[in-house]
Amino acid sequence: MDHFEYRDATLYAEDVKISDIAAQVGTPFYCYSSATLRHHYRVLADAMAQAGLPDTLICFSVKANSNIAVIGTLAQLGAGADIVSQGELMRALKAGIPAEKIVFSGVGKTAEEMRVALTAGIAQFNVESLDEIDVLARVAQEMSLTAQIALRVNPDVDAGTHEKISTGKAENKFGIAWEDAEAAYAHAAALDGIEASGIDIHIGSQITDLAPFRAAFEKTADLLGRLRAAGHRITRLDLGGGLGVPYQKNNETPPDPVAYARMIHETLGDAECQIILEPGRLIAANAGILVSSVVRAKRGQAKNFMIIDAAMTELLRPTLYGAHHHIAPVEQSGDENNNDQWDVVGPVCESGDFLGLARSLPEMQSGDLLAVFTAGAYGAVLGSNYNTRPAAPEVLVDGKRFEIVRKRPNYEDMLRTESLPDWLG
Ligand SMILES: *Cc1c(COP(=O)(O)O)cnc(C)c1O
């Protein structure tokens, strides 16, 4: 579900014409819909409440879309944040997420990052190794504080997703091995400065089937029983993110948040724990599009190329994972019968720079607008300045209004941090 739709053959974000934003902002740009962000958050929150899990904290995974206006929109609804770096902590706080709703994930937290997060007073550290437990305990002792931690355990289930976004298999770098979990809790319990009060899992991303989640949650229930029998006081279960979204128009059925919530209730409903969820993609993906202009259409011998002003630098997923994103003209031609097959490519000097292959599109002219859909998660955040391309601006729409929430840097901005060394000056 999203709020990008055609009215009179032109694409709107809520009540704003995409072509009006393009005229003011220039292309390429990302366009986010507040109503879609809110809708996805509420669907999940309502599903959890209706499944009988009112004690749920939904921590938006900031790495999926870290614009402070996006985080702020969710903060207003009561969302927490799942962060993986000091920078994301600063974004979440600036966007208005209270520290006590922030959980800190990630396999490489430094002692300095731990200090900053402890000073802020975050809710929970998701800790991924014995060494990290020891470092956090030492840092917290030095500050005379107690860190609430959850051990991220690796349930060794196959999430059935792309290998680069699968995290819950034994061979992945994430988490503490399932067989070592009880010993790790015993180790943590013996240390001052930390309280191991939670269990954390996250098995991967863009998971389109509930079965791997069920397998992981059942294992979690089992571990919870064993930990409690050993005397550990576990009060929080962090079940991670990973729910998939439809990237194709029409022929995909994403897992239903209602069924997901019910399944959590079935597997862990009697755990008497707060449930923490860390959705990223589910909330943000369909809430964003990438808008680009055609630079030129180039007909080749073997293929036709639609060269546009967006590239792998604005949306890396096709290049990185072979991911599919629906692409369509902002102004509908009304005559799809005359469409040709086009590879939609950017100007970046890499053969892997494409946004879509063999797409059916009408002949388009230089300056015509195209929309790349489902670009609200893992879009802008994975952007780069490769080929010295300025970061595309981000625009947030809310009903009839829109605002630039990250502006396009000029070239002076881009070069500001560089200098010629003395010997070249
Ligand atoms: C990436 C990540 C998420 C969010 O994943 P989505 O697939 O976007 O929901 C949640 N938790 C952790 C630990 C992550 O690394």
Whether 267 and 303 share a structural domain: no
Q: What is the pLDDT of residues 38-79, one digit of tens each?
A: 999 999 999 999 999 999 999 999 999 999 999 999 999 999
* Domain's final residue, options 230, 256, 280: 280
CB 159 within 8 A of CB 182: no
Q: What is the pLDDT of residues 249-260, one digit of tens each?
A: 766 777 899 999
Among candidate residues 219, 249, 280, the one where a domain is terminated: 280
Mean pLDDT to the nearest integer, 108-114: 97
In-domain check, residue 304? yes
Residue with tokens 């930990």, as numbered in its chain? 227
Domain edge (last residue) among 280, 296, 322 = 280
Above pLDDT 70, what percent of the chain?
Answer: 99
Residue 170 has pLDDT above 80, yes or no: no
- Total domains, the chain: 2
What is the arithmetic mean of pLDDT over 359-384? Answer: 97
Does 27 map to a domain? yes
Q: Are residues 234 and 298 in the same domain?
A: no
Size of the chain in residues: 425
Q: Is residue 423 part of a domain?
A: no
In terms of domains, do 12 and 93 share one? Answer: no
Residue with tokens 């949650």: 217
- H or E stretch covering 6: strand 4-7
In a domain, 213, yes or no: yes
Question: Quick check: is 247 in a domain?
Answer: yes
**Ligand 1 site, CB within 6 A:** 61, 63-64, 82, 105, 202, 205, 240-243, 278-282, 377
High-pLDDT (> 90) share of the chain, % = 91
Token pair for residue 242? 């990973």
**Is residue 147 predicted with pLDDT exceeding 80?**
yes
- The preferred substitution site among 128, 172, 276, 278 for testing ligand 1, maximizing ligand atoms within 8 Å of CB, is 278
85 Cα to the center of ligand 1, angstroms: 13
Q: pTM of the full predicted structure?
A: 0.96
Packing angle between helix 210-229 and helix 181-189, nearest 10 degrees?
Answer: 50
Q: Which domain holds residue 327?
A: 4-32+285-415
- The whole-number pLDDT of residue 174 equals 82
Q: Is 420 part of any domain?
A: no
| Same-domain status, 182 and 294 | no
Give the pLDDT score at 250. Answer: 65
Do 45 and 178 lie in a common domain?
Answer: yes
Looking at the structure, tell me whether residues 252 and 341 fall in a common domain.
Answer: no
Q: How far does the centroid of ligand 1 lie from the alpha carbon of residue 205, in Å?
A: 6
